[in-house]
Structure 1
Amino acid sequence: MIKYDLHCHTTFSDGRLDVAELLQRATEKGVDILAITDHDTIAAIAPARDYIGNNDLALELINGVEISTKWESFEIHIVGLNFDPEHPVLQSLLLEQQQKRELRAQEIGARLAKNGYDNVYQDAQALAKSAQITRAHFAQVLVERGVAKNIQGVFKKFLARGKTGYTPSNWCDIATAVGAIQAAGGVAVLAHPARYKMSNKWLRKLLSHFKAVGGEAMEVAQPQQPPTERQFLGRLSQEFELLASQGSDFHFPMPWVDLGRNLYLPKDCQGVWRHWGGTEE
């Protein structure tokens, strides 16, 4: 059985492992086919391909990205897989997204500074190094300063809607993300649909919209997931005639989330890899 992990992150966005560390860990965990899906950037793809070739890793890399979008009052993430990273339409959208991300980061820093938390933006920038600054970087800084016990606590206390550092996003809409991915020859996947804290009625409304604008697949399987949720998402993928994807959404090693861990599709789901001729054998 081929082991696919089609959602993970490096230090080019909010992951903790650099490209080499991530690829080595994927190999150690028995992953056969991996997609690096950093937030609104494809900067990891070229160095990842170089590292795999230079070190003869038994690992196939699928081009990937995770694009942030706005739909209704929700921030929805769309994963793109197996696209041409040089396509100008996709490159243009990602540049716009990166610019929006930087402006948002500056505003978060300004809002925190007004409330007595000085230089958080600068510290987050130093933590991110040459990568994009994400809210996870702000969270890490505030945890290190001792103002919250963990990243989840920072989001709840500082970055959630109505809190001190909350800054509304200005991402593109779902149709724009799907269109750019498809223009580049890729397949558009609705990321982690169970995480958006919406009712089943709203989830079906989201899936209907995603399908209507050309979306082709949805994530069904993740490591830390009740079996009932996986089965439910599998049924939804069939109901909306969407291919099914799987991915760890790996950012750093945790006991319950790791590359390739507990990733399998429910019976009768059609794997997204069939879109590019992959198999389960």
Structure 2
Amino acid sequence: MPAHPARIDLHAHSSWSDGTQSVHELWSQAAQEGLSALALTDHDTVAGWQELPEAVARTGVVAVPGIEVSAEHERLSVHVLALLVDPSPHTDLARELDRARRSRTERAERMVEAISADHPITWQDVRAQVAGETTTVGRPHIADALISSGVVRDRAEAFEQILHPSGPYYVRYYAPAPTVAVRAILDAGGVPVLAHPGSVSRDGELPLGLLEAMVAAGLAGLEVDHREHDPGTRARLRDFARAHRLLITGGSDYHGAGKPNRLGENLTQPHVLDAIAHRATSTTEVIRP
């Protein structure tokens, strides 16, 4: 009988950042959805990596250790997937992530203080939504507290009405420049892939000049296939990737409950994962059963 085609999703989040499922729950769901491989790309943390070997052994779903690194360019949020990086705390990347996590927590506290003037929400309400002491508090946790308080119905409504970057409660936080993030990922032996560059949820598209600067800095790939990319955007990004010899990836950007994204709704070709594994220079490897 012919083998089942590989189904590879290179973008998913667990409760170690802003997902609603543990690593083990995430991998169980991946198995139920028929995925053959999944990347754990929690925001600015490798905390969930410790659980991956057991999750892989239990489900048979291959794991690609990664991080979604938060960067910023002229007030635009830019996310870069850092696949197969060195998780050592002594790299420039680790120092950038530590600074960003501390800034995110301070930002969250200030946002909650501002929101509480108009809505029934406290910092304790937000902390109650966080999975563990090492999990960085972010806007999704504030959204979950707003849901719990009955202010909004789901995360999507929270982000549209209260937590949007153009809204009155938004507070900025530290994030490195995208080119700095790319170079730090490379220095940590990883493979940098620009996540959802055509996202409709940010205030404006990423400028072409930024994409070209990131390529010059060593960007390896573009996440072309993503829920927030319409067919025209995908076609333009695919042309850009081919013109600059970038890897083309796809991912669900799955966060669990509260967002419409579904595991496996956008996929990556097997030869692309092979190329990522080949390009990585760290000791971090794809985890197989």
TM-score, normalised via structure 2 length: 0.84
Letter in 2 for 1:208: E
The residue number in structure 2 matching 1:259 is 263
CA distance in 2 between partners of 1:170 and 1:17 (Å):
27
Aligned mates of 1:134, 1:104 — CA distance in 2: 8
Among 198, 217, 226, the alignment partner of 2:204 is 198
Asked if 1:95 is matched to 2:98, the reply is: yes
Give the corresponding residue for 1:117.
119
- Measured in 2, the distance between the counterparts of 1:211 and 1:262 equals 23
Corresponding letter in the other structure for 1:12: W
The change in CA–CA distance for 1:172 and 1:165 in structure 2 (over 3 A counts) is same
1:247 and 2:248 aligned? no
Pick which of 169-178 and 180-189 moved more: 169-178
Shift of 1:93: 2.2
In 1, Cα distance between equivalents of 2:166 and 2:253: 27
Structure 2 residue 151 is the aligned partner of structure 1 residue 147: yes
Matching residue of 2:7: 3
Q: Structure 1 stretches of 5 or more lacking a match?
A: none
> Which residue matches 1:42?
46
**Aligned-pair CA distance for 1:273:** 3.9
CA distance in 2, matches of 1:173, 1:223: 25
**Alpha-carbon distance in 2 for matches of 1:162, 1:213:** 30
Report the Cα offset of residue 119 of structure 1. 4.5
State whether residues 65 and 84 of structure 2, in contact with CA within 8 Å, keep that contact through their aligned partners in structure 1: yes
Find the aligned partners of 2:78 and 2:256 in 1 and give their Cα distance.
22
SS of the residue corresponding to residue 159 of structure 1 reads coil
Aligned pair in 2 of structure 1 residues 66, 264: CA closer, same or farther (>3 Å)?
Answer: closer
Cα deviation digits, residues 9-36 of structure 1 (max 9, x gap): 0001111111111001111212122110
Structure 1 pair 72/224, CA: closer, same or farther in 2 (3 Å)? closer
Secondary structure class of the residue paired with 1:68: strand
Identity within the alignment, %: 29
Distance 1:3 1:277 in 2: 19
Instruction: Work out whether residues 243 and 272 of structure 1, in 8 Å CA contact, stay in contact via their aligned partners in 2.
Output: no
Report SS of the residue matched to 2:110: helix
| Alpha-carbon spacing, 1:240–1:120, altered in 2? closer, same or farther (3 Å) | farther
For 1:145-184, list aligned pairs within 5 A: 145-184=149-188
Partner of 2:71: helix, strand, or coil? strand
1:7: how far off? 0.5
Distance 1:5 1:162, change over 3 A: closer
Deviation at 1:149, TM superposition (A): 3.2
Unaligned runs of 5+ in 2: 280-289
Question: 2:240 is matched with which residue?
Answer: 236
TM-score w.r.t. the length of structure 1 is: 0.86
Output the aligned Cα RMSD: 2.5
Greater shift after overlay, 146-155 or 131-140?
A: 146-155
Is the contact made by 1:3 and 1:32 (CA closer than 8 Å) also made in structure 2? Answer: yes
Is residue 84–residue 184 contact of structure 1 (8 Å, CA) maintained in 2?
yes
Deviations 1:169-198 (A, max 9, x none): 221111222122112211111100111453
Q: In structure 2, give the amino acid aligned to 1:18.
A: S
